[in-house]
Structure 1
């Protein structure tokens, strides 16, 4: 009888398997953000015109540095929503690492930072508070944005803090 195992696979089934395999490969390549990712994290209160201008300046700078970049953010309100609008205007691929509060509770924003760092960004941009002096007076810096900057430093990832114009 020989050592070959009997199989009922037909040529049509083999072709279907190859088609399914190539469809999966296409699907995965469509969801692959690419090699160059810039991560961005901003405070929820950073939604003034001053903040928007500096966020746009920082993201435009990143786009000049890395023309094929994808923008990774958590999609939180405030400065990150401004960054998402910028990405849509510039047709930049957007990668969302949303905080899962149901699963992680109060640690969710920090777990989202872990996801952003796991994407291995080439640069991390952070805005820890609003740039509007009246609005930002007495406000604490945004912890998750500070945390992302610290994690980037630990991993040796370039970290740029978005600051007011000098």
Structure 2
């Protein structure tokens, strides 16, 4: 039986590989920075001096949790279930981050209401400052959880070759305004700006769409995307949101290359029109380039719309792939 020490050694090896990507490591560590010496964890609890987790230890915990599932079940009759179990673990990070985000939004809403309704009392000032501290604390926790989720998703991608996809789917006072009130407004403004950047990534959009069946040569898809990124470093990837095939390969590439990806999933409420309405929205985003791979009439319709709009288009057919054995 494999010992705990060997698991730790394996985790260290994986961490060493991840740490080669210094910019990613710096970004990860930055999510665990404490904006204040004090933290407030709930509306009821008072401020307390409590630290964030050590980012390296958090990274190790993620590596151990996800990696060990694959190590323990490999070459056993339960190996086929390793991917589902690991996916569930990554998704738990995602859902917990969303719970923290909900609490953060509630605190931010209260903070906004207080900042708009000035009260010169000391009680008001104290409550305003504590509400801001609560919002900041929850924001820090949410960012750390998202960093852990993203790292877990990266481990999942390395182990399975597939991207993780979640189930659900973001002042100088001139009028007697107190200093703490000004800080609240500043905080809300910066928070809103940050969140807009997360949910509305800016940059030239590259569309990728392809069928779900018959596609295996991820090397060909990745090579095309590498070539596009070399010409357009600040690109944003837009896909048609399929969970396997070409779209999944493109999303895996985006995760591996730290490229923002936007998934245009059809609105099922529109019935048979859903995919075609989605195609229209994609073209209306004014992409600068597109890769469309053989699939169904949906891909043919998208290619036609892109040509009509004058978008430079790369077409690939299933027959253009290398054999499955060579591609592997």
Whether TM exceeds 0.5 here: the answer is: yes
Bigger radius of gyration, 1 or 2?
2
Higher helix share: 2
1:29 paired residue number = 197
Unaligned runs of 5+ in 2: 1-116, 120-176, 322-328
Query: 308, 317, 328: which is aligned to 1:154?
Result: 308
> CA–CA distance in 1 between the matches of 2:220 and 2:241?
18
1:105 paired residue number = 271
Query: 1:26 offset after TM fit, Å?
Result: 2.0
Distance change >3 Å, CA 85–CA 104, structure 1 → 2: same
> CA–CA distance in 2 between the matches of 1:66 and 1:106?
35
Q: Deviations over 1:47-89 (max 9, x none)?
A: 223xx23212221221122111111002213211111111111
Query: What CA RMSD, in Å, does the superposition of the two structures yield over aligned residues?
Result: 2.2
> CA–CA distance in 1 between the matches of 2:254 and 2:265?
16
Query: 1:104 offset after TM fit, Å?
Result: 1.1
- Which SS does the other structure have where 1:91 is aligned? coil
2:212 paired residue number = 44
Query: 1:14 offset after TM fit, Å?
Result: 5.2
- Which SS does the other structure have where 1:99 is aligned? coil
Map 1:42-81 → 2, pairs under 5 A: 42-49=210-217, 52-76=218-242, 77-81=244-248
- Which SS does the other structure have where 2:290 is aligned? strand
> CA–CA distance in 1 between the matches of 2:197 and 2:213?
36
2:74 paired residue number = none
Unaligned runs of 5+ in 1: 1-7, 130-141
> CA–CA distance in 2 between the matches of 1:20 and 1:48?
46
2:99 paired residue number = none
- Which SS does the other structure have where 1:67 is aligned? coil
CA contact (8 A) 1:128 1:143 kept: no
